[in-house]
Amino acid sequence: MTATVSFTIDSPLGPRTATVAYERKGAGEPLLLLHGIGHHLQAWHPVTGILAAGHDVIAVDLPGFGASGPLPAGVPYDLATVTPALGALCAALGVERPHVAGNSLGGLLALEMGRSGLARSVTALSPAGFWTESERRYAFTALRAMRAGARTLPLSTLERLSRSGPGRAALTGTIYARPALRAPAAVVAETLALRQATGFEQTLAAGGSVRFTGDLPRLPVTIAWGEHDRLLLSRQGLRAKRTLPGARLVRLPGCGHVPMNDDPALVARVILDTAASATGYPA
C-alpha cells in the first residue's frame, strides 16, 4: 500500500518541505529502491517480493515523479539538492544508512548517496553519469521522444496498444528487452506516469552536465548493466568500472535498461549479493 511522508530539505532558498510517496514491505536491514527518470516505484514490483523476504524494502517515488509531489517552487532538481533530500527522507522513515539500489537516474542517486555516506551498499543498474557527450545527447533525445509520445497518445489508443505484444514493444521497447512480458495495466500506468511527471524537464535539464567521477572505496558497490540496454548503451558499464575500480561489474544477459521486469530473479540476486557483502565493511 502506498503511503506518503513529509520531511524538510535544505535548498538554496532555505529549508523547504517535500512530500513523497513510498511503499514499504518486509523486515530486516533497510533497502531503499530508486527508479529512473519518468518512471515510478512500481518499476520495482517484479522484485520487491523477493527482496522483502530478508529486507525492510522501501520503494519511493522520487520528487516530481509517480505519486510524489514536485519539489517546492524554485528548488532545483540537481544532485546537490536531491541526494541530501533522500537522506532526510530516510531519517523521516526512521532509517539510517540503508542499502540502496537504483536504476538509471536512481542508480546515479544511489552512487551519490554512497559518496555522501548515506548508504551501506550500492547497487546501480544502468546508472546515468557514465556517458560521453554524444551518448548523453542520444539518451536525452530518446527520453524526450518517449515523453512526447506519452503526452500525445489518447488514453484509448494507449490502452489498445498495451493489449498486444507489438503494442507494448512500441510503447516500452526503449527500456525493456522483453516488453511483451510487461502486463498491459503496468504499461498503461507507467506511460501515464511519464506523461504526468512534473519533475521531468527540470531533472533532465539538471542532468546535462552530470558526470560521475571518483571511487567509493569504503562500501560495496555493484554496477550492473543490461546487455540489451538501448538507452544507456552497455559499453558505459566498462567506463563505470574504470571510474569505480573497486566496484563489481555485472552483465545482465537478456535485459534492457530497466531490467527488473526482464529478469526479476537475476536482478534480485545481484542486489541481495551486494547487500550481503556489506558485512565485511565498517558499519
Assess contact for 23 and 59: CB atoms under 8 A.
yes
Question: What is the pLDDT at residue 279?
Answer: 86
Whole-angstrom Cα distance, residue 247 to residue 12? 33
Asked whether residue 181 carries a pLDDT value surpassing 70, the answer given is: yes
Q: Of the candidates 203, 244, 207, which has an alpha carbon nearest to the alpha carbon of residue 224?
A: 244
Q: Which domains does the chain have, with CATH numbers?
A: 2-131+212-280 (3.40.50.1820), 136-196 (no CATH)
- pLDDT of 147 reads 97
Contact 53, 27 (CB under 8 A): no
One-letter identity of residue 160:
R
pLDDT at 79: 95
Average pLDDT on 199-215 reads 93
Q: Outline where DSSP puts E strands in the chain.
A: 2-9, 16-25, 29-34, 55-60, 99-103, 121-125, 221-226, 248-252
Is a pLDDT exceeding 90 seen at residue 281? no
pLDDT 10s digits, 239-268: 999 999 999 999 999 999 999 999 999 999
Whether residue 28 has pLDDT greater than 70? yes
**Could you report the per-residue pLDDT of 87-118, keeping only the tens digit for each?**
999 999 999 999 999 999 999 999 999 999 99
pLDDT of residue 189: 97
> What pLDDT is attached to residue 183?
94
| Separation between Cα atoms, residue 219 and residue 226, nearest integer Å | 23
Q: How far apart are CA 281 and CA 114, in angstroms?
A: 13
- Considering only CA atoms, which of 69, 115, 119 is closest in space to residue 274? 119
Find where cell 513529509 sits.
6
Please choose, from the candidates 123, 111, 142, 130, the residue with its C-alpha nearest in 3D space to the C-alpha of residue 37.
142
Query: What's the pLDDT score for residue 283?
Result: 65
pLDDT digits (tens, 9 = 90+) for 29-52: 999 999 999 999 999 999 999 999
Nearest to residue 266, comparing CAs of 47, 120, 61? 47
Count how many residues are written for the chain.
Answer: 283
Asked if 260 contacts 44 with a C-beta cutoff of 8 angstroms, the reply is: yes
- Average pLDDT over the chain, rounded to an integer: 95
Average pLDDT score over residue span 111-130: 97
pLDDT at 214: 86
Q: Could you count the other beta carbons within 10 Å of the beta carbon of residue 12? A: 11
Q: Which pLDDT does position 12 carry in this prediction?
A: 83
Instruction: Give dist(CA 184, CA 220) in Å, integer.
Output: 36
Instruction: Decide if pLDDT at 218 tops 90.
Output: no
The pLDDT of residue 25 is above 90: yes
Residue 63 scores a pLDDT above 70: yes
Question: Which one has a higher pLDDT value, 279 or 226?
Answer: 226
The pLDDT value given to residue 120:
97
**With contact defined as beta carbons under 8 Å apart, do 241 and 165 qualify?**
no
DSSP 8-state class, residue 97: S
Its pTM stands at 0.96
